[in-house]
Amino acid sequence: MKRYLVFEDGTYFEGTAFGSDTETIGELVFTTGMSGYQEAITDQSYNGQIINFCAPMIGNYGVSKEFNESQTPTIKGVLAREISDVVGNYQSEMTIDEFLKQEKVPGIRRIDTRAITLKIRKAGSLKAAIVDDLNSGLLDQLSSWQLDDEQLQKSINPVPTRFPGSGKHVVLLDFGYKESIVSELTKRSLQVTVVPGNTSLAEIENLNPDGIMLSNGPGDPTRHEDVLPTIVELEKRYPVFGICMGHQLLCLANGAKTFKMKFGHRGFNHPVKDIASGRIYFTSQNHGYAVDEASIAVTDLKIAQVELNDQTVEGVEHTKYNAFSVQFHPDAKPGPHDADFLFNKFWDMINK
């Protein structure tokens, strides 16, 4: 069956339907990852977005829920040049087509993903609709559509969750966290309690943490301005480590500013330079906002890492407190793992 991707400017692309038999609207973004399609689809940082996969084929190793980054995906749709109907992996439980049907996510295959990527790179991230008919009534809502707080809130688990360990206790403030972050912490025997990002300072202190983790998450970081005073107090009392959204919030809490990028960073091949050591590592990234470099000059933060392609800020360290953050994902699954030593850095801070 034919299915169409219609942009807010009226242009459209034609392909073949797969996944759920539904129509949808979302922000269209692209990812350059050659693998990890399941992890991307279940990453809450993609909430409300249609993912255009640059890899020429996805789905060849199937889907196993063991590797989900969250229980339920909140993406709006999937675009792929081709998907594999034949799975070659003993761990696979289902095909990607079956998975998207189960999760009620529509997809389009046999669509020109390269042309779509070039369009986004030129115009920036655009709103788009996935429809089965170019006369669909859903297209009337395309120009006015926006990602609202109700949809974004679906990324956050409202119920605190405890992950046992034999070591010190980390409280993870959830803005749409990835399971891989918890995995890296528990791998180091740390106890982890995941709580909603807007949990009060008193409630956090009652949990007796030894360290604080600020998670990734979707959307504009300035919508979390209510948590900034809490972060200011937490960094004075505990070691703090922020990732992605957590990085942006740590910077905002200390007086820096953020901005929306033209098309963001999404993929596993982003080179980042560590300023102190000169070391360069490849990183997994998924964000549409970044920290304004000039605004850091008036804070107690210093820039620790930069992205080599566009020189955007990729990491900061606090000059007074044991707090640091990175824009990329050192917890990357399926990889790369160049920067997972940052969890050791956090562990050292906690155990001093």
Question: Which CATH number does the domain housing residue 245 bear?
Answer: 3.40.50.880
Look at residue 203 in the predicted model and tell me its pLDDT: 98
Place 200 in a pLDDT band, splitting at 50, 70 and 90: very high
The answer on 189 and 135 residing in a single domain is no
Q: Give the 3-state secondary structure percentages of the chain, helix then strand then coil, rounded to 5.
A: 25, 30, 40
Neighbours of 222 (CB within 10 A): 13
Helix axes 245-253, 228-237, angle to 10 degrees: 90
- Number of domains, the chain: 2
Q: Does 175 share its domain with 320?
A: yes
Q: Are 350 and 170 in contact (CB under 8 A)?
A: yes
Q: Do 226 and 118 share a structural domain? A: no
Active site residue 331: yes
- pTM here is 0.97
Mean pLDDT of the chain: 97
Output the six-digit token pair for 339.
Answer: 């920067």
What is the token pair recorded at 281? Answer: 């590592």
3-state secondary structure of 161: strand
Q: How many CB atoms lie within 10 A of CB 187?
A: 13
Q: What's the whole-number mean pLDDT along residues 117-134?
A: 96
329 is a catalytic site residue: yes
Q: Which domain holds residue 212?
A: 161-351
Catalytic annotation, pick one of 97, 244, 247, 338? 244
Cα–Cα distance between 315 and 277 in angstroms, integer?
Answer: 13
Q: Report the amino acid identity of residue 261.
A: M
- From the candidates 43, 97, 174, 331, which is the catalytic residue? 331
| E strand intervals along 132-235 | 161-163, 169-174, 191-196, 211-214
Task: Please enumerate, by residue number, every residue annotated as part of a binding site.
Answer: 45, 217, 219, 245, 248, 286, 288-289
122 vs 14: CA distance, rounded Å: 20
Active site residue 337: no
Residue 145 pLDDT: 96
Q: Of 129, 153, 177, which closes a domain?
A: 153
Q: Are residues 188 and 113 in the same domain?
A: no
